[in-house]
Structure 1
Amino acid sequence: MISRRSLIRGAAAAALVAPATGLLVTEAGGVTRRKAGSKAAAMPLKIVNNSGEYDNGSIHVYIVGNDGTNQVRVTPEGELKPVALGDNGSDGFTDYAIPLAGSGETVLQLPEMSGRIYFALGEKLKFKAVEGGDGKAALAYPAAWVESDPNYGVLHDCAEFTYKNGAMYCNTTMVDMFSVPLSIQLKGDKDQTTGTLKDGARAKVFQDLKGAEAFSKLVVDDKRVIAPGHGMGSGLFAEDYFDAYIDEVWNTYSGKDLTVTTNAGKFTGRVSGGKFSFTGPAEVSFDKPSTKDVLFCDGALAAPNDGTTGPVAAILGAAFNRTTLASIADQPTTDPAEFYKGDTAHLYVKAMHEATVDGKAYGFAFDDVAGFASYIEDGGASEITLTLTPF
């Protein structure tokens, strides 16, 4: 249910500005994999521009991430190169842009790595090579939710992936923001697609959130909608938005049990002494989270990769974000009709899920709980296509 928890953080961990990534995967059940250590050939990566707003000449692609040892980038020829401080030009930024073909689809080669595939429309992105905490070169990633960031004015978005031992794990993400409609098709043992928006859905997302008072300041012109967690601290989103709901959950389970079912087994929890304590395959407990903890699925809701605390934290985090925790005492909830109800509904995530054809999106870090993330994987992957779909 929640076996996908450790992939992309490695790609951005050393970055000066580390994104709050959506894709957090290890190996998921049922995936056919090559023998450990057998490196796969580069995979064809097709880029299709169906944006209807920008021609191929005004779109730039960036493939950046981590190869397990260094932060790396991919050249237009498909070569994997470590990030280097000397890559910064006279303007202080790297130019890792990969142009699209003059017309039609663009075919690139994607080597084994974990990372992000960025699209910049109209202007190039400004990635800066810096010295990381380990002394190695790292990248300062775009942080488009920060007005002072050099990429704030650039229309851009990204998809996330890990390609290793012939297996591909990938997703679209709205964990940090929503801007450019993207769709992923993954071919291999199966033929899968996710992330496709309904006709007119981008405009509807902007319109609906602009009309919701608590979320309206997160809409930045026609460029992007910033995720609520990134709006906190800058006056764009209330720092106490979920506080009343968190209190309701704490009060509810002071008087009755909550059952959380994980791959490790069932946990039974109750609030006592200010903590939400669970018994079952192991004893785990959680302090009362803040609104920030809920939005980032961190802090009191941090999910270590330990097989017990982590899975319970993920399910609690999902139930908080979907506002199902107070009303449903058996988690995780799998019926999306129960999600995003009440006065403190997470309307940002609701809008993302309503926008997609398959109802799946990566609106918060634990959106993969019960399979609602715009995530696909294939252990025998042979080709991946990223399509910029109509605005």
Structure 2
Amino acid sequence: MFNRRSFLGGLAAASVAVPVLGSVPALARPRPAAALPLTIVNDTGHFDNTSIWCYVVGVNPDTGEQSRVTPDGQLKPVSPSDNGSDGFADYAIDLAGSGDTQLQLPAMSGRIYFALGDKLKFKVVSGGDGKPALQYPAGWVPDDPSHGVLHDCVEFTLKSDGMYCNTTMVDMFSVPLSIRLQGSQDQTTGKLAPGARDAIFRGIGEKSEFAKLRQEDLRVVAPGHGLDLGLFPKDYYDSHIDAVWKKYAGERLTVQAGDGRTFTGQVSGDQFAFDGGVKPFSRPSTRDVLFCDGALAAPNDGVTGPVAAALGAGFNRSVLLRATEQPSDDPKSFYQEDITNHYAKVMHANAEDGKAYGFAFDDVAGFASYIQDGAPKSITVTLTRW
């Protein structure tokens, strides 16, 4: 499956100096995709068009260069010379003076950011390979230059075989956004229920361990980033992980890979070992669970990856103690344990279709706010009312 994890890399590392964004797999270079009409709709009810700025940034699939889109739809590589006298590159695209904004989206892999009330601070720096790299906003970090700016983003890859896109709360939630993708189908994702933003902010405060994740009225931070900031318990999942390890020391877990293959595993000591060539998993930490990384990292190998994804989703949804066959596809069974990813739970509870990207493996079993189309004709991103 061509999903968020296969076309956007390094998202969990966005608080470091230079996140790796939009690492396109090494494919035989297909014919370039035609530019896709992009419509931006401002339905916030709080900000007029002149107070909102758009940024389209990511990776050029042909050259691998970190790039940005100009207001006239050109894909240009970022350059240190783009940094102004204040040290930041102004890649903002103004919205139309009134009504909807029409843009052209070129073939690339990246993000569409929206900043409300003030502009974001992007900076071009030298990457580890010595090439120009774009430093993205990490608004949840208190000393980040964009910390005080209300902003959010959607993610996408547009290439010759289609458009792949999603709304995301993997790092944080701030601005309600929805995507409509029209092509061979007419699909919408990410739309929140009326009053959902307030409900999400309130809901996070209902669990004491999660209450500190709210940064005033600007955003709610994902618990993994909260952990790194000292705002979330480092041992939150530990007792649940222990219970899962104990259960599967005496029982076997079956994982369906989604292509008809089945992998079976059991715990022995600190290792969760599976058949079929799956690399054994060490006992994860709370941070590993929240980031779906570390001991739960999912390589794009079609073997260990699908099992890691099922385990990561199982821990976040707290279903591994309830069912020995994974991934579970019954949302009524999700988030029912005392220890669970309450952040993701609240996001799903306030989505009109029940789908959200509350953690990196939320696409497992199809519960992410993700859509794709092999013959796209247009995409509309709406800043929805709150």
**Structure 2-normalised TM-score?**
0.95
Structure 2 residue aligned with 1:57: 50
How many residues are treated as equivalent by the alignment?
A: 382
Matching residue within 271, 274, 288 for 1:275: 271
CA displacement at 1:117 relative to structure 2: 0.2
CA contact (8 A) 2:51 2:116 kept: yes
CA contact (8 A) 2:10 2:20 kept: no
- Give a deviation string over 1:263-318, Cα, whole Å, max 9, x none: 26111111013200011x32431000000000000000000011100110000000
Structure 2 residue aligned with 1:91: 86
Q: Which has the higher contact order (CA 8 A, sep 6+)?
A: 1
Distance 1:376 1:383 in 2: 13
CA displacement at 1:41 relative to structure 2: 1.8
2:25 maps to 1:6: no
Correspondences of 1:1-391 after superposition (within 5 Å): 5-9=5-9, 17=17, 37-68=30-61, 69-262=64-257, 263=259, 265-279=261-275, 281-391=276-386
SS, match of residue 230 in structure 1: helix
CA displacement at 1:71 relative to structure 2: 0.1
CA contact (8 A) 1:16 1:132 kept: no
CA displacement at 1:24 relative to structure 2: 9.4
Distance 1:102 1:208 in 2: 36
CA contact (8 A) 1:46 1:384 kept: yes
SS, match of residue 209 in structure 2: helix
Q: 1:55 to 1:119 in 2, by over 3 A?
A: same
Q: 1:208 to 1:13 in 2, by over 3 A?
A: closer
Q: Which runs of 4+ in 1 moved over 6 A?
A: 10-15, 23-27
Q: Which amino acid aligns with 1:382?
A: K
Q: Which amino acid aligns with 1:44?
A: P
Q: 1:264 to 1:2 in 2, by over 3 A?
A: farther
SS, match of residue 5 in structure 1: helix
CA contact (8 A) 2:7 2:109 kept: yes
- Give a deviation string over 1:18-63, Cα, whole Å, max 9, x none: 5698x99979xxxxxxx96221221100000000000000000000
Q: 1:26 to 1:3 in 2, by over 3 A?
A: farther
CA displacement at 1:233 relative to structure 2: 3.1
> Which structure 1 segments of 5+ residues have no match?
28-34
CA displacement at 1:100 relative to structure 2: 0.3
CA contact (8 A) 2:7 2:24 kept: yes
SS, match of residue 212 in structure 2: helix
CA displacement at 1:2 relative to structure 2: 7.7
The alignment-based identity, stated in percent, is 60
